Structure 1
């Protein structure tokens, strides 16, 4: 079965570990492909291929500086991921609220001792 094109979808593009690592490195600012390749232990053609995919989905921008091409993070391309993850935020907040209520009840029980009718 053929794989879905990684260049058309942000989720597919960032599913690849090395592309996520590139994005992490670019958080600190622009970097040339040779530096990215070196830091990730890959060849320059491999890094260029990943950068092309990231550029095509809008996660990185490139600009020329002399003979070098500098790549920069364009976090606006992560908006679909952020919006999708945001849907889970309420779930986790409610789960943590329930856990906090449970922990607070345990603390009260330990401070006051068991209430009448509670099992020991």
Structure 2
């Protein structure tokens, strides 16, 4: 991941609604959610939700797929992985035992 991509992803998540959307989509993996359902669950107008989803998609954090009349959004876990690895790539200057608690904290989720 390049600096510009990481900045775009972090910038997309640096807004409350978008952070809530991303976290909601992560919880609904692998099925994803329709845009209208996301908007209703977070109590956000649908047109505003579309803008937020577009920003997250351009930042590489969500993917969309058309299913009949609905667009299903999913968290892009590869994008999240790339961002996380970018942030911790040189963790603790290569001193693996210092990074062990971070890795252990991340491991149980999957």
TM-score range, shorter chain: 0.5 to 0.7
Q: TM-score, normalised by structure 2?
A: 0.67
Alpha-carbon displacement from aligned partner over 1:59-79 (angstroms, at most 9, x marks no partner):
111111111000011022224
Structure 2 counterpart of 1:75: 77
* SS at structure 1 position matched to 2:73: strand
Aligned to 1:58, what secondary structure does the other structure show?
coil
Q: Which has the higher contact order (CA 8 A, sep 6+)?
A: 2
Distance (whole Å) between structure 2 residues aligned to residue 31 and residue 70 of structure 1: 5
Larger radius of gyration: 1
Q: Which runs of 4+ in 1 moved over 4 A?
A: none
Higher helix share: 2
Q: Distance in 2 between matches of 1:87 and 1:63?
A: 31
2 CA distance for matches of 1:11 and 1:80?
Answer: 12
Gaps of 5+ in 1: 1-7, 95-120
- 1:37-56 Cα offsets, whole Å, 9 max, x none, are 01111100111100001111
Provide the C-alpha distance between the structure 2 equivalents of 1:40 and 1:17, rounded to a whole number of angstroms. Answer: 11
The number of residue pairs the alignment matches comes to 89
